[in-house]
Structure 1
Amino acid sequence: MPRLTSPASPRAAFAVWGVAILCYITAIAGRSSFGVSSLQALERFGVGPAILSTFVVLQVATYAAAQIPVGLAIDRFGPRRVLVFGAILLAVSQAVMALSTHLPLTLGARVGVGLGDATAFISVLRLIPEWFPLRRVPLLNQATGALGQLGQIISAVPFYSLLALRGWTAAYMSLAATGLLVAILVLVVVRDRPAGRPERPTTETATAVPASPGERGPGRSSRPVPVGTQIREVAREPGVWAALFSHWSTMFLVTTFALMWGVPYMREGNGMSEQAASTALVVGVVAMVVFGPVVGAVSARFPHRRFRVIAAGVLIPVGGWVGVLLVPPPVPTWVVVLLAVLIYFGGAASNVAFDIARSHVPRERLGTATGLANTGGFIATLLAVQIVGFVLDHLGGSSPSATDFRIAMAAQGIVSLVGVVGLVIAARRAGPGSELPIRSTESGRG
């Protein structure tokens, strides 16, 4: 094991980042596991599809609601402690999922999964600028988001295979054991910053303010900031809202497709086989893994053009959906696979939102700003999931037709329009001059 000494050596930095990513992969595997076990859940709990969708809604709602509190916790206690807490909570929640046959208890466990999941991503993003030169942060942010999607493949292949071979309890206990193992690895390997670097305040008021009201650089005075003030300062920054709506506009099509309506659309709305639908999802994940580093490199190389990347992340998936939905079903399988690739490009572009947030706040508020930005895509996902479900229920009831699915999936455009309008307003209010100096935030440690 590399020694975690100061200054941060590449071995130590990549060891910390690698273990933190393992925690994020585990979180995503837990997040997406229920989707592949939904048929078994119908039988295990004796409920219908409407009740079953509550699992996803509760999980995503918990994830979104937890983002700002988790960001505050990261700023106060550090990402290492938050990662350990989240991994242990995931392990306990998955163990309850494995053993429970009572619906209320299992719903509570799924809330625990959502909360544990909420701690992972923004904790990893908080570690990166502490351990790596800031000029590399956009690329590493993208790599984090891309590699984390391997959790979807874990849930779709080994978890699903274990579910089929050994049953519900064994499959979910494997996720619980993995969460516990990851928590131990985080305790052993991860540190909030290289040894010798000054500690962030960990008192009740958590953080410190800049030396003067107008100063936005990394320097801090000893005057602490109460939590309420911390939230207000972040919420006043138009650039953070631009980041939130960037995430909203680029991410929700991915999560809506992956967590809820992608498989039903492909199976019932387009007549694809189970294997073909699974292939489309896996190809989409692989495409996101490939796109991520490319988008990150562009964000790092051209920081003043990040909103153009966001624009591409909106227009490409929306254009894909428009092209597919204009064609009467069934659409050829290869076209739907291509649609999945385009949708997941939006997922890669969504991580640029965190680069935008980082360029608008000082380091001591970064966890809170990242948490606020990260709520965007998941609030939008909740809206999209509900809108699509409402349209399907209204048009087709329990047996929606292919035409019903076309109309319902087109209704996602409402959520996209809201996100784009919010993004344009926030980006105009932020303006290019509102960013922290690029010299201090993009090239060195700042």
Structure 2
Amino acid sequence: MSSASSAPCGALPGDPPGGRRAIAMWGIGVSVYFVAVIFRTSLGVAGLDAVERFDVGASALSTFSILQLLVYAGMQIPVGLLVDRLGTKKVLVLGTVLFTAGQLGFAFSPSYGTALASRALLGCGDALTFISVLRLGGRWFPARRGPLVAQLAGLVGMAGNLVSTLLLARLLHGVGWTAAFGGSALAGAVVLVLVFLFLKDHPEGHEPAPVPHQGAAYVRRQIAASWREPGTRLGLWVHFTTQFPAMVFLLLWGLPFLVEAQGLSRATAGELLTLVVLSNMVVGLVYGQIVARHHEARLPLALGTVAATALLWAVTLGWSALASADRAPMWLLLTLCVVLGACGPASMIGFDFARPANPPERQGTASGITNMGGFVASMTTLFAVGVLLDATGDDYTVAFSAVFVLQAVGVSQILRLRRRAARRERERLVASRVETVHVPA
């Protein structure tokens, strides 16, 4: 007799039940991520103010973004290990304390150096949140809900980006630097109280099996075992290939490209950046539903997004040669921004390859490895575009060609790993079904 016979349709053995309590617990966790994204993206609306406040140039200003991404990417595997070892609640408490302290420090920083240190601290706390939220969703919801829950987490993050763009920008220009950043830090205190008082790592009866922790040996085993799974590596390369075009556009180079290369006003360019965020939120819901219902759609969606992004960038950058015009038309820029909005949801598909490839006790580590992909690609592209702009006298066509190089590298790795990952995933699914069969004494 199979112990899974009474499970809901589509459920896997040992699946948590979901339900209202699961939604409440996940809601607390994702509220932390929401606040973290507001803090993460707050510099995007304060760039000009930061130049004036700290008396720095463009290169020093870009260091804020690159340092923050560097800290975030470098923390992903340690965060995954921490989540697997300590559980979600403890890691989220630590992350909230760190990113709130970083936001407060940024509010009161008297110099560029202290502001830079504050952003690094914020990036460290921010790095602790997303992997924790993914782990929380996996502990409280059935596996079949995983893709949708992950996409919803990404959608909430983009909502935080939208709040930063629309609300914090007005607050900054209304009450000033210190009051705006210091006041926003109160949101961190609120979610810290919610996590500390109410959050539970998992529902009763679904406690993870105890795992022996033996210092460096445990760390090596976790990382090695996660990396050996083709699904983990495939997830990393999917994340690497899909996320970075939109990240680079939103984080630093989109506004200069639209204003300097395309001749738009700052207001119009800001509206196009907002369109990327809105598109991300809509596409995230669509992708989540598709992957939840049709698991085999994961790779076509990811590769289709990469192809569409590459095509729109190629047409936009090559418009002057194709149409004998200096600038791309507005309809093309609008289409580009809508397509860039699909990059974030497509990157979430990477976790849908890593998740079924690893047992529960390695979910945090595997997610951390996957999450490094897009941020490494983003850092590389941010740096490459800046170097190429300096070398070519602000030729954005040449500078943004770096996008195609990284996409080609990522797609080649995806195609190399896809069959092995699919075969291994089928083997794990069969093994999990077999474990539920009980032979009578």
Q: TM-score, normalised by structure 1?
A: 0.88
Asked if 1:295 is matched to 2:319, the reply is no
Asked if 1:347 is matched to 2:344, the reply is yes
Rounded Cα–Cα distance in structure 1 between residues aligned with 2:365 and 2:29: 19
> What secondary structure sits across from 1:149 in the alignment?
helix
Residues 27-176 of structure 1: matches in 2 within 5 Å?
27-176=36-185
Rounded Cα–Cα distance in structure 2 between residues aligned with 1:40 and 1:435: 53
Asked if 1:383 is matched to 2:380, the reply is yes
Rounded Cα–Cα distance in structure 2 between residues aligned with 1:123 and 1:149: 17
Rounded Cα–Cα distance in structure 2 between residues aligned with 1:147 and 1:441: 32
**What is the CA-CA distance between 1:100 and the residue it aligns to?**
0.7
Amino acid at match of 2:195: V
**What is the CA-CA distance between 1:25 and the residue it aligns to?**
1.2
**What is the CA-CA distance between 1:262 and the residue it aligns to?**
0.8
Does the 8 Å CA contact 1:131/1:194 hold for their aligned counterparts? yes
Does the 8 Å CA contact 2:16/2:142 hold for their aligned counterparts? no
| Closer, same or farther: CA 439–202 of 1 in aligned 2, 3 Å | closer
> What secondary structure sits across from 2:41 in the alignment?
helix
| Closer, same or farther: CA 116–436 of 1 in aligned 2, 3 Å | farther
**What is the CA-CA distance between 1:428 and the residue it aligns to?**
4.1
Aligned residue number for residue 356 of structure 1 = 353
Rounded Cα–Cα distance in structure 1 between residues aligned with 2:158 and 2:83: 23
Does the 8 Å CA contact 2:230/2:424 hold for their aligned counterparts? no
Aligned residue number for residue 420 of structure 1 = 411
**What is the CA-CA distance between 1:282 and the residue it aligns to?**
1.4
Does the 8 Å CA contact 1:360/1:436 hold for their aligned counterparts? no
Aligned residue number for residue 8 of structure 2 = none
Identity level (%): 37
Rounded Cα–Cα distance in structure 1 between residues aligned with 2:159 and 2:174: 22
State which of 389, 396, 404 in structure 2 corresponds to 1:405. 396
**What is the CA-CA distance between 1:430 and the residue it aligns to?**
3.1
Asked if 1:394 is matched to 2:391, the reply is yes
Rounded Cα–Cα distance in structure 1 between residues aligned with 2:144 and 2:102: 38
| Closer, same or farther: CA 100–337 of 1 in aligned 2, 3 Å | same
Rounded Cα–Cα distance in structure 2 between residues aligned with 1:265 and 1:140: 34
Rounded Cα–Cα distance in structure 2 between residues aligned with 1:27 and 1:424: 34
**What is the CA-CA distance between 1:429 and the residue it aligns to?**
4.1
Amino acid at match of 2:400: M
| Closer, same or farther: CA 441–253 of 1 in aligned 2, 3 Å | farther
| Closer, same or farther: CA 205–175 of 1 in aligned 2, 3 Å | farther
Q: Where in structure 1 are there 5+ consecutive unaligned residues?
A: 1-5, 207-223
| Closer, same or farther: CA 93–10 of 1 in aligned 2, 3 Å | same
Rounded Cα–Cα distance in structure 1 between residues aligned with 2:341 and 2:232: 23
Does the 8 Å CA contact 1:239/1:435 hold for their aligned counterparts? no
Amino acid at match of 2:352: D
Q: Where in structure 2 are there 5+ consecutive unaligned residues?
A: 1-14, 321-325, 437-441
State which of 296, 315, 319 in structure 2 corresponds to 1:323. 315
Select between 152-161 and 179-188 the one with higher mean Cα deviation: 179-188
> What secondary structure sits across from 2:341 in the alignment?
helix
Q: TM-score, normalised by structure 2?
A: 0.89
Does the 8 Å CA contact 2:96/2:192 hold for their aligned counterparts? yes
Rounded Cα–Cα distance in structure 2 between residues aligned with 1:436 and 1:84: 37
**What is the CA-CA distance between 1:200 and the residue it aligns to?**
4.8
Q: What CA deviation, in whole Å up to 9, does each residue of 1:26-75 have, x standing for no partner?
A: 11111111111010111111111011111111000100000000000000
Amino acid at match of 1:165: G
**What is the CA-CA distance between 1:225 and the residue it aligns to?**
7.1
Residues 427-438 of structure 1: matches in 2 within 5 Å?
427-435=418-426, 437-438=428-429
Rounded Cα–Cα distance in structure 2 between residues aligned with 1:274 and 1:93: 29
